[in-house]
Structure 1
Amino acid sequence: MTTTESKDLGAEELRARAAEALTRARARSDALTDAVDDEDLIRQHSKLMSPLVWDLAHIGSQEELWLVRDVGGREPLRPDIDDIYDAFQHARADRPALPLLSPAEARSYVREVREKAFDVLERVPLGGRRLTEQAFAFGMVTQHEQQHDETMLATHQLRQGDPVLHAPEPPPARPGTLPAEVLVPGGAFTMGTSAEPWALDNERPAHEIAVDAYWMDTTPVTSGAYAGFLDSGGYDDERWWSPAGWAYRTGSGITAPRFWKREQDGWWRTRFGVYERITAAEPVVHVSFFEAEAYAAWAGRRLPTEAEWEKAARFDPASGRSRRFPWGDEEPGAEHANLGQRHLRPAPAGAYPAGASPTGVHQLIGDVWEWTSTDLHGYPGFAAFPYQEYSEVFFGPEYKVLRGGSFGTDAAAIRGTFRNWDYPIRRQIFAGFRTARDAGPGEG
């Protein structure tokens, strides 16, 4: 919902929108967990990920804590499992050893929690308290569930066995040749938000920041372009890697993006149980920050800063204002971006011309999360809300910011101000990148 719209909505329409968002998230959670049998639900498919059944019950636990107990003031349903499903108490690798709810128990639990949460939504005043203003708590819980849905989708990618998830192909690239890069003018713009009703604490507050003019890739770097880096020996050439990146590259022994394999006739990959030739026109996915950084150096470029990414995604030179999305303030539609697990792969570069920014940068929302060169930090005036563990405990040089969402991100959990972050070695996430370069004298 837009900021302007939210101010005009009555309580009943706010409730309806919150209910729809919660319902859409639960349908996706159900689809991801119903796609496999109980044995697969309790199995740990990678030590990087939780068993799917942990994610499902964790979704319910967080919903109970915030909507049923805190907002609703209701008695706890399952206080005995609070510690088990506290993500900060147990590393993912250790979760299979916990006394987890069985698949049947987890499904029953999340259904009961949802019934009570909907009852709270019908009755609680949507105002008078920051958690309930503009139905914020319901939006927060929706985004949390959708984020775990994307995590479960990543677990499905790591799963061994026959394909169980299916979706139509994304749209093809539109006819016509796009320029390789776009000039983004220098100057100040408004970064972050103070008004977006469901924005999370690390997106706030809005503040003015200036950037010098720069050139930005029109689309994310494609698999075909990345294969050129591989075929030139880029993984064996220390010149392109930062010291930390080279230490990671040599210590881990990686030789290509995760899930890629070189065959006699070129590069192939495994995608949700399907072994297939890479699609050259698609944005590359499953690369770490260090791999993205090395490619950029090889190409004579660099990764954009987070501020550069957001200016390209939001700033409209004609009006001088920052939009919610590259295309404007309206919610993402199927014509704008590849979101919501509508497809199970990135769309070819240039597939969403309706989603381009005013400066002509394409596919900034959806397809692949994009690594930036920026460490996660709070904006000037940052205040943790409603708890420090949402983002503040991650501030510092250990985490790099990613922007824009992926094909596995729901529209409820992405916008031009949304910030994601992860360790620079992470490759199981649906991450790619685009590159940038400084503008020359007299440009921009």
Structure 2
Amino acid sequence: MYQRDQLLALLEDARQRTLALVDTLGDDQLQVPWHPGVNPPLWEMGHSAFFYEVFVLSLLDGTPSYDPAMDDLWDSFHIDHRDRWNRDYFPGREKTREYMLTIYDRIARRIREQPLDDRARYLYRYAIYHQHMHIESMTWCRQTVGYPAPPGVVVDQEFSATRKQPLGDAEIPAGTWLIGMPGDSPDYAGDDFAFDGEKPRHTVELEAFRIARAPVSNGEFLAFVEDGGYRRPELWSFGGRKWLQTETDVALVHGEREPVMRAPTHPLYWRLHGGDWQERLFDQWRPLEPDAPVVHISYWEAEAWCNWAGRRLPTEAEWEVAALGNRPGEPFRRFPWGNEPPTPERADMDATSMAQQPVSALPAGESPFGCRQMVGTCWEWTSDQFLPYDGFKVDMYPFMSTLQFGDHKVTKGGGCATSSVLIRGTYRQAYLPQRNDVYTGFRTCAL
């Protein structure tokens, strides 16, 4: 069960990481170019502080708003996405920073001074984890617009595990398996914290299957590219062919950043330069590392690669079983390696290595079946639509999952920019199948 010092440490970490992502940008960089997949960093900062106000201070104490005139602007349901770039609507850096720090100080004081019951613990953690979701999106914002790497990222890395033979497939036996987290844990503020989309825990019956022990690498995906995979309609589903026809990029049009049509022939941040393939890491073009995992891949690209390779994407149940191997009546594990929290030796997370390590790396993070990097590195596409589990109940924040049900795909495992405090093997992230600006990749199953 989380105590005051642990909650204060979580809050302070979220504060410092958010400040670093804003303070290391110049004033001109704070007004990032418009893009459908990102928000301006100052809006992210103000929105996260607003969430603490609404879902902690107001719910627990009825505390009035810091500035009622600004509430609609920080509320993602009241401000159109394009309007978040309008400088006339929002305060500048200093006032937004002052707002955030004031709210964080109020939350910290409340944690120190007010009774710490289960409801309060849960709301604190919920708001802090929401903050970490925006820390992740502030990180991929820099990648999207080509800004320098955030603080903490190790850009020039050398790894000894390169050029290893493929790890092959893991054999998963048929059986009854546990999926998800408890729906009504007696200590729902303790170690069983989960968002509503992960609940309730239930059993599934699966036939035996084979799943790759590692994510698909750049080199494996490059073979598809060089075989004309993007130009072969027979490899693409109807949705994939439509995506190929309508995929957009952001470029200068009449002096302004606007989406323009393009026909993809390779992953989003790749280019063929002087006869050599390169990949952009934030503001640097670097030689494509064939043994690193392929990232920034849409569902449609992953699906087409599977069709080309004679493989398939796992269902989300298959993915979770391969990652955790939880069975009824046995000790439950939250991570592939057990219940200890992620560390750099086990998982590529917290915006440090940024998916630069080879797919054969991190053996300390293996699952019970020998699958590597199932937590961290990249959000992995599954074949399933994001739908509620039977017995689903809306959580304290009614839109955490409900807005994504039906038209989003399930990704699992977290990515290199995901905060390690946020993730566990049961976590379900929903992305639209066309998303390729986030740190998404995939692993496959044998047919």
TM-score by length of 2: 0.90
* Aligned positions of 1:391-406 closer than 5 A: 391-396=401-406, 398-406=407-415
Structure 1's 91 and 310: CA in aligned 2 closer, same or farther, altered over 3 A?
farther
Is 1:431 aligned with 2:435?
no
Q: Which amino acid aligns with 2:324?
A: R
* Aligned positions of 1:156-171 closer than 5 A: 156-160=142-146, 165=151, 167-168=153-154, 169=157, 171=159
Structure 1's 375 and 72: CA in aligned 2 closer, same or farther, altered over 3 A?
same
Task: Name which of structure 1's ranges 105-114 and 383-392 shifts more when overlaid on structure 2.
Answer: 383-392
Instruction: State the alpha-carbon separation in 2 of the partners of residues 175 and 409 from structure 1.
Output: 26
In structure 2, stretches of 5+ residues that fail to align are 186-190, 248-262
> Paired residue for 1:278, among 282, 288, 292?
288
Q: Give the secondary structure class of the aligned counterpart of 1:83.
A: helix
Structure 1's 355 and 160: CA in aligned 2 closer, same or farther, altered over 3 A?
closer
Structure 1's 316 and 70: CA in aligned 2 closer, same or farther, altered over 3 A?
closer
* Structure 2 partner of 1:101: 91
* Structure 2 partner of 1:314: 324
Task: Name which of structure 1's ranges 69-78 and 249-258 shifts more when overlaid on structure 2.
Answer: 69-78
* Structure 1 partner of 2:59: 70
Is 1:225 aligned with 2:214?
no
Structure 1's 239 and 399: CA in aligned 2 closer, same or farther, altered over 3 A?
same
Is 1:20 aligned with 2:30?
no
Task: Please give the per-residue CA displacement for 1:159-179, whole angstroms capped at 9, x wherever unaligned.
Answer: 245556563237542896453
* Aligned positions of 1:119-158 closer than 5 A: 119-127=109-117, 131-132=119-120, 135-158=121-144
Matched positions, count: 422
Q: Give the secondary structure class of the aligned counterpart of 2:74.
A: coil
* Aligned positions of 1:408-427 closer than 5 A: 408-427=417-436
Compute the displacement of 1:334 (Å). Answer: 1.8
Q: Are 2:167 and 2:214, in contact at CA under 8 Å, matched by a contact in 1? A: no
Task: Please give the per-residue CA displacement for 1:191-238, whole angstroms capped at 9, x wherever unaligned.
Answer: 001145321111111111112111111110000100000000100011
* Structure 2 partner of 1:82: 71
Q: Give the secondary structure class of the aligned counterpart of 1:84.
A: helix
Q: Are 2:139 and 2:150, in contact at CA under 8 Å, matched by a contact in 1? A: no
Compute the displacement of 1:110 (Å). Answer: 0.5
* Structure 2 partner of 1:249: 244
Instruction: State the alpha-carbon separation in 2 of the partners of residues 72 and 145 from structure 1.
Output: 21
> Paired residue for 1:214, among 209, 212, 234?
209
Q: Give the secondary structure class of the aligned counterpart of 1:82.
A: helix
Q: Which amino acid aligns with 1:190?
A: L
* Structure 2 partner of 1:182: 170
Q: Which amino acid aligns with 1:406?
A: G
Task: Please give the per-residue CA displacement for 1:9-55, whole angstroms capped at 9, x wherever unaligned.
Answer: xxxx6111111111111111111111111221133352321111110
Q: Which amino acid aligns with 2:174?
A: G
Structure 1's 161 and 334: CA in aligned 2 closer, same or farther, altered over 3 A?
closer
Instruction: State the alpha-carbon separation in 2 of the partners of residues 320 and 419 from structure 1.
Output: 22
Q: Are 1:49 and 1:92, in contact at CA under 8 Å, matched by a contact in 2? A: no
Structure 1's 162 and 124: CA in aligned 2 closer, same or farther, altered over 3 A?
closer
Is 1:200 aligned with 2:190?
no
Structure 1's 117 and 164: CA in aligned 2 closer, same or farther, altered over 3 A?
closer
Q: Give the secondary structure class of the aligned counterpart of 1:337.
A: coil
Is 1:353 aligned with 2:363?
yes
Structure 1's 290 and 269: CA in aligned 2 closer, same or farther, altered over 3 A?
same
Q: Are 2:178 and 2:327, in contact at CA under 8 Å, matched by a contact in 1? A: no
Compute the displacement of 1:350 (Å). Answer: 1.8
Compute the displacement of 1:354 (Å). Answer: 0.6
Q: Which amino acid aligns with 2:216?
A: V
Q: Give the secondary structure class of the aligned counterpart of 1:390.
A: coil
In structure 1, stretches of 5+ residues that fail to align are 1-5, 7-12, 439-444
Is 1:377 aligned with 2:372?
no
Instruction: State the alpha-carbon separation in 1 of the partners of residues 162 and 39 from structure 2.
Output: 39
Compute the displacement of 1:311 (Å). Answer: 0.6
Instruction: State the alpha-carbon separation in 1 of the partners of residues 328 and 364 from structure 2.
Output: 18
* Structure 1 partner of 2:233: 238
Q: Give the secondary structure class of the aligned counterpart of 1:413.
A: coil
Q: Are 1:166 and 1:344, in contact at CA under 8 Å, matched by a contact in 2? A: no
Compute the displacement of 1:240 (Å). Answer: 1.1
* Aligned positions of 1:300-339 closer than 5 A: 300-315=310-325, 320-339=330-349
Task: Please give the per-residue CA displacement for 1:81-116, whole angstroms capped at 9, x wherever unaligned.
Answer: 221111123343331126122111110000000110
Structure 1's 170 and 408: CA in aligned 2 closer, same or farther, altered over 3 A?
farther
Q: Are 1:189 and 1:320, in contact at CA under 8 Å, matched by a contact in 2? A: no
Task: Please give the per-residue CA displacement for 1:130-179, whole angstroms capped at 9, x wherever unaligned.
Answer: x32xx111111111111101100111012245556563237542896453
Q: Over the residues paired in the alignment, what is the CA RMSD in angstroms?
A: 2.0
Instruction: State the alpha-carbon separation in 1 of the partners of residues 150 and 69 from structure 2.
Output: 33
TM-score by length of 1: 0.90
Q: Which amino acid aligns with 1:255?
A: T
Q: Which amino acid aligns with 1:156?
A: R
Compute the displacement of 1:346 (Å). Answer: 3.7
Q: Are 2:345 and 2:362, in contact at CA under 8 Å, matched by a contact in 1? A: yes
Task: Name which of structure 1's ranges 266-275 and 230-239 shifts more when overlaid on structure 2.
Answer: 266-275
